[in-house]
Amino acid sequence: MTIKFAGFDMYGLEALYTDEERMIRDTVRAFVDERVLPVIEKHNREATFPAQLVKPLGELGVFGATISGYECAGLNNVAYGLILQELERGDSGVRSFASVQSSLVMYPIHAFGSEAQKSKWLPRLAKGDAIGCFGLTEPDFGSNPGGMTTRAVKKAGRWVLNGTKRWITSGTIADVAVVWAKVEDGTVRGFLVEKGTRGYTAPEIKNKFSLRASVTSDLIFEDCEIPEENLLPKTEGLKNALMCLNQARYGIAWGAVGSMMACYDCALNYSKTRIQFDRPIGGFQLVQAKLAQMVTEIVKGQLLCLQLGRLKDQGKSNHVQVSIAKRNNVSWALEIARSARDILGASGIVDEYPIMRHMANLESVFTYEGTHDIHTLIIGEAVTGLPAYKG
C-alpha cells in the first residue's frame, strides 16, 4: 500500500479526525494512487467505465459504508465523506459510481425496503457483486422531479410501469434500478426493477464531454411488469427520494474537496518547476494569488464538510446545511479547476494532466443532485421563509 499523494494540512485539521478516520482515508488514498490514477486517463479518453474497480472497491468496503450489518462496514459519516473525497481526487466518475451505489441505491433499500429486499440486495451491492442505479430525473422533469410522468399501476397483483427516466448514472450496467414513479393516487413511490425484466431497457447516453468514465443512461419502461413485492414498502412520497438525494449531496460536497486537492496539487507542483522569465512561475505574485485562493478554499471546504459530518453523526444535520456545503464546494471546485488550468498554460489542456478532466467532470457535478441555483433557492427559502421556485 503506497500513498503517492502527499496531501497537505495547512490548518491543523488532521487533529480533528480520529485515528480510524485517518487510516480509512489513507487506505482509500493509496487505493486511488495505485489503482485509479494509473488507468483513469485511458478510460476517460475512451469513454469507458473502469468496471474492473468495482469488485476491489467492494472488497475494500466502500459501498454502503455507513450501513451496519448486511456485510457493510458500519463507518461514521466523516469516514464515509473522506472515502468520497479520495475517490473524487481520482475521478468524479468513480466517485459518482460510489455515491449512487451507496447513497441512492443501498440507502433507500436499507431505509425503505423490506427485510427480504435488504437481505437480497445489500450484501451483493456492498461486495460489488451487483450494481445499482437510481431513476428520478425524466426528460421533462429535472429540477422539478415532482412533475414526473412515470406511472406504476397495480394489476392482478403486479405493478406495471410506464415512462422514461433520463441521465441515470450506471443505468446500462445496473443489476437493479431504484425507480421513482407515481401510483394511481399521484403519490410518488420507489420500486426495484431488475435487469432483464420484460419491458425495461437502459440504453447508454453517448458522446458526453463530462463524466466520461461513468455510464449515463435512459431507463425506458414499456408496460414493464414487476412483482408486487418489488415496491419499497416504506416509501410514501417524493420526500423519500429527496432523503436519498440528501445523502448523496453530502458525499458530493466531500468529493468536490478531493477534486480541488487534485487540481491544486497539480498546479502547485507545476508552478514550482515551470520556468518563465528565468524563474519558476510560482514565484510571481499573480500565480501565488491563485494558489493562495485555492488552498484557502480547500480548507474552508474541508471545514464545511467536517462539521456537517459531525452534525450528521449526531443526527443534527439538516438539508439546508447540505445545500450550503454542496453549493459552495462544487462551485469552488470548478473555479479551482479553471484557475489551475490557467497556471498550467497550454499544458493544462492535454490529458497528461488531470485538470481538464476534473473541470469537465465538475460541470455535471455542478448540475446533478440539485443544480447550483436550486441550492441557492433552498438556502434562500431557509433564510427568508419565502420559497422562490415558482413564478
Partner 1 sequence: MKIVVCVKRVPDTTTQVKVGPDGTSLDAAGVTFANNPYDEYAVEEALKIKEKTGPGEVIVISVGPAEAAQILRNFLAMGADRAILLKETAPGRDNFGVASALAGEIKGLAPDIVLCGKQAVDDDGAQVGAIVARLLGMPVVNTVTKIELAAGKAVAHREIEGGHEVVEVSLPAAFTAQKGLNEPRFPSLKGIMAAKKKPFEEKPAPAAEPRLTVIKMEPPAKRPAGRILGKGVEAIPALVKALHDEAKVI
Ligand X SMILES: Cc1cc2nc3c(=O)[nH]c(=O)nc-3n(C[C@H](O)[C@H](O)[C@H](O)COP(=O)(O)OP(=O)(O)OC[C@H]3O[C@@H](n4cnc5c(N)ncnc54)[C@H](O)[C@@H]3O)c2cc1C
**Interactions with ligand X, residue window 132-151 (CB under 6 A):** 134-137, 142-143
Contact pick of 60, 84, 131, 202 for partner 1 (by CB under 8 A): 60
Q: Identity (one letter) of the amino acid at 378?
A: I
Distance CA 32, CA 19 (A): 20
Q: Which helix (H) or strand (E) is 224 found in, with range?
A: strand 216-227
Q: Which of 13, 51, 59, 222 binds partner 1 (CB under 8 A)?
A: 59
Residue 386 carries which side chain, given as an amino acid letter? L
User: Alpha carbon of 327 to those of 47, 188, 249, 304, 332: distances in Å?
Assistant: 27, 26, 9, 11, 9
Residue from 83, 94, 161, 168 touching ligand X (CB under 6 A): that is: 168
CB of 76 to ligand X, least distance (A): 25
Q: Does 83 bind partner 1 (CB under 8 A)?
A: yes
State in angstroms the smallest separation of the CB of 111 from partner 1.
21
Asked if 74 is part of the footprint of partner 1 (rule: CB under 8 A), the reply reads: yes
203 binds partner 1 per the rule CB under 8 A: no
Q: In the structure grid, which three cell numbers stand for residue 195, read together?
A: 435487469
Of 261, 343, 364, 366, which one interacts with ligand X (CB under 6 A)? 364
Residue choice 2, 207, 314, 384 for contact with partner 1 (CB under 8 A): 2
Q: Which stretch binds ligand X (CB under 6 A): 164-172, 224-232, 286-294, 310-318?
A: 164-172
Cα-based angle 97, 48, 204 (whole degrees, multiple of 5): 75
**How deeply is 300 buried, as exposed, middle or buried, from its count of CB atoms within 10 A (0-12, 13-18, 19+)?**
middle
| Residue 2 partner contact from partner 1, ligand X, none using kind-dependent CB cut-offs of 5 to 8 Å | partner 1
* C-beta closer to partner 1: residue 56 or 283: 56
* Distance of alpha carbon 39 from alpha carbon 292, whole angstroms: 31
Q: Number of residues in contact with ligand X, rule: CB under 6 A? A: 21
CB nearer to partner 1: give 2 or 285: 2
User: Smallest distance from the beta carbon of 102 to ligand X, in angstroms?
Assistant: 13
The CA distance from 64 to 98, in Å, is 9
Stretch that binds partner 1, among 2-10, 283-291, 353-361, 383-391 (CB under 8 A): 2-10
User: Which stretch, 67-75, 92-100, 166-174, 324-332, contacts partner 1 (CB under 8 A)?
Assistant: 67-75
Stretch that binds partner 1, among 71-79, 144-152, 203-211, 301-309 (CB under 8 A): 71-79
Residue 32 interacts with partner 1 (CB under 8 A)? Answer: no
Contact of residue 373 among ligand X, partner 1, none (CB under 5-8 Å per partner type): ligand X
Alpha-carbon torsion angle 358, 92, 290, 276, nearest 10? -40
* Helix axes of 238-273 and 92-99: crossing angle, nearest 10 degrees: 160
Q: Is 297 a catalytic residue?
A: no
Catalytic residue among 86, 88, 335, 369: 369
Dihedrals φ, ψ of 350, to 5°?
-100, 160
Cα–Cα distance between 61 and 67 in angstroms, integer? 11
The entry of ligand X, partner 1, none that residue 237 binds, CB within 5 to 8 Å by partner kind: none
* Helices of type H across the chain: 19-31, 37-46, 54-60, 77-90, 92-99, 107-112, 115-127, 238-273, 285-313, 319-343, 355-367, 372-384
| 3 state SS of 297 | helix
Can you tell me which of 36, 53, 54, 62 binds partner 1, judged by CB under 8 A? 62
| Torsions phi, psi for 109 (to 5 deg) | -65, -40
Residues in the interface with partner 1 (CB under 8 A) total 24
The site for ligand X (CB under 6 A) is made up of 100, 134-137, 142-143, 167-169, 211, 216, 364, 367-369, 371, 373-374, 377, 389
Residues classed as catalytic: 369
